[in-house]
Every structure is written in structure tokens, then in C-alpha cells.
């Protein structure tokens, strides 16, 4: 049986506090499946040990999922209907299943490669998605087909390199981008080489102290990035902001950055 870290266990508890019903079934399935755990662990091995990048494993995928779920609840509380419901294809609960599943599987393609790992990840994830939906949705072929397609959209679109169209997939994209505290951010440039001494990515990533996802003042979601120094603005502008701009969730988001004891800067 695989061994979980304390951080992984804490994140799983936090995720479970944001879900119920079918989403809880899905989460427990993913949290206890040996193949999924092996894929997530190996994704981290490739990312950190082989490529010299940051966390792309079970902790990161759970953090991205938690971020996406917090935003999901804020949109739902504001009366925003997700695509499955507005298009009369499913329910609010079905949409949450899609966001949760895609977020928890979005980086499994890192087990094979960094380049186009969002596309490679679909190859690894598709049979797993099918297994999960077979358990949770039984013989509902119509529902399973639609949900699988939307989950794949979430994985496919999480790098903001490909166009996505659903709010569900948009939350996966931003949830991933918000995992940027104290050096965990995904570097979207210079990926083909090791960071150089003095590289702005190194200092900007280490400047991010806290990513707060809160109810907004004028929009449903406020993302407030707390930084120790102004280099953190580079991380917001080069990593997170492009993902928000590319997301269908953008109209519902306020984005702020603030260095400790300095004036707050508003992006959206």
C-alpha cells in the first residue's frame, strides 16, 4: 500500500470538506487508488529529480483541486450556473465531479514528458476516468460520455496553451495557476533550461507568501496574492494572470497583489 505524506492527507481532508454526494465518491476513489497514486508520485519524480522543476505530484494536484473547489463554491453561492447545468446536460453536482476529477489528474502526463504533457496526460487519464465514472454513474452512458469529455477538456486546457470554453475547465486552469506559494509556481518560460543564478523566476516564486481565494467585493471571486518583495509581481504577471485571461471564469474574478506593508495593486 502506498504511503501518503502529512501534507497530502491534510489536503485530502480539506477537499472532502468542500464536497458531498458523488464528488465524495470520486474523491475517495482517487485518494485510495494505487494506480493513480503511482502516477502522481512518478510525475513528481520526473518533474523534480529528472527535470529539476517544482512540485507536479500528489500534493500539487490536490492543492490545485482545493483551489478550484473553493472558487467553484464561490461561483455557485453567487448564483452562477456552470455549463452542464445551463446547457441542460447535467447538474451542479456533475460539474463539481468534473472539476474535481480533472484537477486531481491534470498533471499525470508529467510521467512521460514536460512538452505537451497536458495532451499526453489524456492518454494516461482516459481509462482512469472511465473507471471512476463506471463506479459513480453506473449504466448512465449518456452522462458518463459527457462528463468524460468535460474532464478531458479540463486536463487539456490547464496550461492555457489551448482554447477552452467551459467554466468547469476554466476553474481547473486557474486552480492550477493559484498553486504558487513560496516557490511552488509553475514556470511557464525558460522550461528548456535550468534556472540561472539570479534568474527572476527563482526570486519571484520565492516571494509569494500566500494565495488567498476569497469572496469578491464586486465579483464572486477575489484572488489576493501576498508577497514578501516586489519580485513576486513578475510571478503573478507571467504565471497566474495569463491563465486567468485565458479562462472562461475571468469575468467573475478580481485579482490583487500586495507586498507586505505596501499598497495593493489590482489587476482585475
Find, among 135, 169, 174, the residue nearest to 152 by Cα.
169
pLDDT of the residue at 77: 98
- Of 72, 66, 75, whose CA–CA distance to 96 is shortest? 72
DSSP track, 23-73: HHHHHHHHHT-HHHHHHHHHHHIIIIIIT-----SHHHHHHHHHHHHHHHH
Please say if the pLDDT value at position 255 is more than 70.
yes
Distance between CA atoms of residues 202 and 234, nearest Å: 11
Residue 235: is its pLDDT beyond 60?
yes
Q: Which of 183, 162, 152, 149 is nearest to 243 (CA)?
A: 162
- What order do you get walking across the sheet with 221-227 strand by strand? 208-215, 221-227, 253-259, 264-266
Domain assignment present for residue 244? The answer is yes
Q: Which residue has the higher pLDDT, 190 or 12?
A: 12
Report d(CA 136, CA 21) in Å as an integer: 10
* pLDDT class of 118 with cuts at 50, 70, 90: very high
Distance CA 143, CA 111 (A): 29
Number of domains in the chain: 1
User: Is residue 66 one of the residues assigned to a domain?
Assistant: yes
User: For residue 40, what are the domain limits?
Assistant: 6-266
Q: How confident is the model at residue 187 (pLDDT cuts 50, 70, 90)?
A: very low
Place of cell 493559484: 178
Residue 123 counted as domain residue: yes
Look at residue 1 and tell me if it is in a domain: no
User: What is the reported pLDDT for 3?
Assistant: 83
Checking if the pLDDT of 14 tops 70, the result is yes
Q: How confident is the model at residue 186 (pLDDT cuts 50, 70, 90)?
A: very low
Most confident of 89-98, 181-190, 259-268: 89-98
pLDDT band at 1 (very low <50, low <70, confident <90, very high): low
Residue (of 67, 45, 129) closest to 253 by Cα position: 67
Between 55 and 177, the more confident residue is: 177
Identify whether the C-beta of residue 230 lies closer than 8 Å to the C-beta of residue 204: no
Decide: helix, strand or coil at residue 219. coil
Residue 107 neighbours by CB distance under 10 Å: 29
- Percent of the chain's residues with pLDDT above 90: 75
Total residues belonging to the chain: 268
Whether the predicted pLDDT of 185 surpasses 50: no
Q: 159 lies in a domain?
A: yes
pLDDT band at 147 (very low <50, low <70, confident <90, very high): very high
Average pLDDT over residues 208-232: 93
Within a domain: 175: yes
Record the pTM.
Answer: 0.90
Pairing status of strand 264-266 against strand 221-227:
unpaired
Q: Is residue 211 domain-resident?
A: yes
pLDDT at 181: 76
Q: Is residue 234 part of a domain?
A: yes
Whether residue 191 is predicted with pLDDT greater than 50 in this model: the reply is no
Q: What does the pLDDT read at residue 192? A: 40
Report the C-alpha gap between 171 and 24 in whole angstroms. Answer: 18
The pLDDT of residue 48 is 82
Helix 141-156 and helix 117-137: axis angle, to 10°? 150
Amino acid at each position: 500500500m502506498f504511503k501518503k505524506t502529512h501534507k497530502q492527507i491534510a489536503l485530502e481532508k480539506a477537499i472532502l470538506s468542500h464536497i458531498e454526494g458523488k464528488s465524495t465518491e470520486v474523491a475517495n476513489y482517487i485518494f485510495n487508488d494505487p494506480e493513480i497514486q503511482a502516477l502522481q508520485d512518478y510525475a513528481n519524480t520526473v518533474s523534480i529529480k529528472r527535470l529539476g522543476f517544482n512540485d507536479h505530484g500528489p500534493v500539487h494536484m490536490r492543492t490545485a483541486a482545493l483551489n478550484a473547489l473553493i472558487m467553484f463554491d464561490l461561483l455557485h453561492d453567487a448564483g452562477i450556473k456552470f455549463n452542464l447545468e445551463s446547457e441542460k446536460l447535467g447538474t451542479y453536482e456533475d460539474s463539481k465531479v468534473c472539476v474535481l476529477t480533472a484537477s486531481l489528474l491534470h498533471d499525470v502526463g508529467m510521467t512521460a514528458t514536460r512538452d505537451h504533457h497536458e495532451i499526453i496526460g489524456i492518454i494516461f487519464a482516459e481509462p482512469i476516468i472511465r473507471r471512476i465514472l463506471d463506479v459513480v454513474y453506473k449504466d448512465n452512458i449518456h452522462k458518463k460520455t459527457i462528463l468524460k469529455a468535460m474532464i478531458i477538456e479540463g486536463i487539456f486546457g490547464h496550461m492555457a496553451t489551448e482554447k477552452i470554453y467551459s467554466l468547469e475547465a476554466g476553474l481547473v486552469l486557474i486552480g492550477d495557476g493559484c498553486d504558487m506559494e513560496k516557490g511552488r509556481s509553475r514556470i511557464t518560460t525558460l522550461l528548456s533550461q535550468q534556472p540561472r543564478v539570479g534568474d527572476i523566476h527563482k526570486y519571484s516564486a520565492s516571494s509569494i507568501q500566500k494565495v488567498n481565494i476569497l469572496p469578491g467585493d464586486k465579483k464572486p471571486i477575489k484572488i489576493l496574492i501576498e508577497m514578501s518583495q516586489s519580485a513576486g509581481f513578475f510571478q503573478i504577471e507571467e504565471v497566474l494572470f495569463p491563465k486567468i485571461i485565458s479562462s472562461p471564469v475571468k469575468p467573475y474574478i478580481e485579482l490583487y497583489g500586495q507586498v507586505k506593508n505596501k499598497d495593493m495593486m489590482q489587476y482585475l
